[in-house]
Amino acid sequence: MSTGGGKGVSQWQGRGIVALGTIGELGRVGLARGVHGVRLLMRRTGIYLLVTLSIAVGAAVVTDAAVVTDRERMDEFIESVTARGSDSRIDNALRYANPSKFAMELVHDGQRRRYSDRNAAELKPDARKALASLEGSRLDLIQESISVEGGRARIALRLRTDAGFANTLFDLRRENDVWFLRRLVVN
């Protein structure tokens, strides 16, 4: 089907159709430029995708670091109450109490006592007596249970102390993104 004048050129040469294997020198250069252009485009697209992915991952990491969940706050509370070598475990727990703002209840040895703005000054000495076993040099966390539901949290701890085993229960309530100790039970 060739017209006889050109090597390997089809009869459709005038319409831009060329038989395979007949790409001239100019065609090879154009093809090479096209392949190079495609590679360059793919490389650029890959770089843009990599930059976009890096930004998205970075934003996710920053958001996760900036947002402290209620569970993380309860873990911080437990760490402050059970920290090794800490002489202020009781003070760390009482930092969450504000009986002048919210009434608090302390239950120890079957006795229940409520604290409010009228008797807030008595909370610290009474809590020190109830939690005296936490002040020892040896304190091992045996078991913990954390329950967070909405604005309420309950933390139950079983501890091994110098004096033996101690079971404590902390009930906390959240008000305006601040957690307050509302009830403390020590057995």
Domain positions in the chain: 13-66, 70-186
What is the pLDDT confidence band of residue 161, given thresholds at 50, 70 and 90? confident
Q: What is the mean pLDDT of the chain?
A: 79
Question: Tens of pLDDT along 30-66?
Answer: 555 565 666 777 778 888 888 888 888 877 777 655 5
H-type helices in 67-131, by residue range?
70-82, 89-94, 123-130
Q: Give the mean model confidence (pLDDT) for residues 115-124.
A: 92
Mean pLDDT of 147-154: 94
Residues 113-128, mean pLDDT to the nearest whole number: 91
SS3 185: strand
User: Which distant-in-sequence residues (6+ apart) come within 8 Å of 89 by Cβ?
Assistant: 80, 81, 82, 83, 131, 134, 135, 139
Q: Which residues of 145-178 are buried (b: 16+ CB within 10 A; e: fewer)?
A: ebebeeeebebebebebeeeebebebbbbeeeee
171: pLDDT strictly greater than 70 = yes
What is 70-186's CATH number? 3.10.450.50
State residue 114's pLDDT score. 95
User: CB–CB of 115/99 below 8 Å?
Assistant: yes
% the chain with pLDDT above 70: 73
Report how far residue 138's alpha carbon sits from residue 150's, in angstroms, rounded to the nearest whole number.
34
The pLDDT assigned to 155 comes to: 96
